[in-house]
Chains A and B, each alone.
Chain A
């Protein structure tokens, strides 16, 4: 155990990096994904087309490739992110937003069409009816799939380790290289770090799902 306490600072900061990568990207992806879902169901064809194009591009591109592009590719067009952490957040958010959008869209499709019709018949415009009637009901039905997306995101943060962000996986590489004799302990510590994020999430998702359920 002496080994772990010796490296407590590195492990703790790596854990915080992974957690903040996941939370920051999660929030960004939720916002962007919601906007995209709104576009995909909007009555304006160009908006629908744009959002569909976005989803197909990011959903079908490996996350590592998205990272490569944002870290090295955009340098070619004289752009760069202020830090590798921010580049990682951007890659994770852009990629995950496509999945958030599709999860939400399935929820939107599950809201009975009469709900939006009633809203429109009362004089709510498309945006109002989406915000006050359709999305609140859609979010409730997509808590389980959004939970999946969140847990996948939490684990996908590990790609950032390959791009000079010192997250849990980077700590794993560093500590296992330096301490080959302690390999099992290093693995256990790193896995525990991820589980601390994902297991309570799974539990929280179940609680939220129960709490927001709507009876029809």
Chain B
């Protein structure tokens, strides 16, 4: 179980209230209320098309919402512009398709935002980047380009890139879905250790093992709604809703 951090206060770090979003006629997020405390690891699961990725992307406004309110550390998500950029710099994001900058080396991928956004010196940023790359086990690849690394290595670099900004929370949008099976664990191991160290995390995933091992809470979504929200033990052994039971029976019987 993740330890409770010293920063833990009463107010939630991420708070969604009455969030609604439509893609045309499709109501992808329906009356979402969700609050995430500091140090909490929330795993979002659900069938494809249930809105879980959209939910994750709405938290740093990569997707805009039409109704409702999202607050991060007490601050309402601003409109596009400098204020939003500033807020995003405190919210890490790890994508399904890694999205490492193809024309930059691994080291440059990690130092880019700290130098450009945080105005850190190149030397400071590089020292920290090398520490982080060592920590995720790709320190010796620092001078290569993303395409020269395996998928699992690229995703670990993407995690290091997010960590370099010392984010308050990291969003993981299906971080292992594009990986070959033998590379999934190397990424999940890094994520599990982050969770243990008290990082606040929102993880959209199909990895039930990770959810059991590292989550404080499992949020089950279906049809754009949060159907169930419970601790992993309760959720996996005794789901309340019929839909969650159905979903679990389909994915756990293999």
Contact = CB atoms under 8 A, between A and B. Distances in A.
A121 B62 contact: yes
B235 interface: no
Nearest to B145: A215
A128 to B, nearest CB: 6
Interface stretch (B41-49, B110-118, B198-206, B210-218): B110-118
Given A114-B97, A215-B148, A123 B117 contact: yes
A136 interface: yes
A122 B95 contact: no
B14 to A, nearest CB: 15
B102 A120 contact: no
B244 to A, nearest CB: 30
B113 A124 contact: yes
A118 B100 contact: yes
B55 interface: no
Given A118-B93, A120-B88, A123-B88, A133 B101 contact: yes
Interface centre among A118, A120, A122 (most CB of B within 10 A): A122
Contacts of B87: 123
Nearest to B83: A125
B60 interface: yes
In which size bucket is the chain A interface? Answer: 20 to 34
A56 interface: no
Contacts of A120: 62, 85, 88
A215 B103 CA distance: 8
B60 A118 contact: no
B102 A123 contact: no
B27 interface: no
B117 A114 contact: no
Interface in B54-107: 60, 62, 80-82, 85-93, 95, 97, 99-103
A43 interface: yes
Contacts of B148: 215
Contacts of A133: 101
B165 interface: yes
Contacts of A43: 80
B147 interface: yes
Please name the 6 residue pairs, one residue from A and one from B, whose CB atoms are nearest each other, closest first: A123-B89, A118-B99, A114-B99, A122-B113, A121-B93, A215-B147
19 contacts: A114-B95, A114-B97, A115-B102, A117-B95, A118-B99, A120-B88, A121-B60, A121-B62, A121-B88, A122-B117, A123-B86, A123-B88, A123-B89, A123-B113, A124-B116, A128-B117, A214-B102, A214-B145, A216-B147
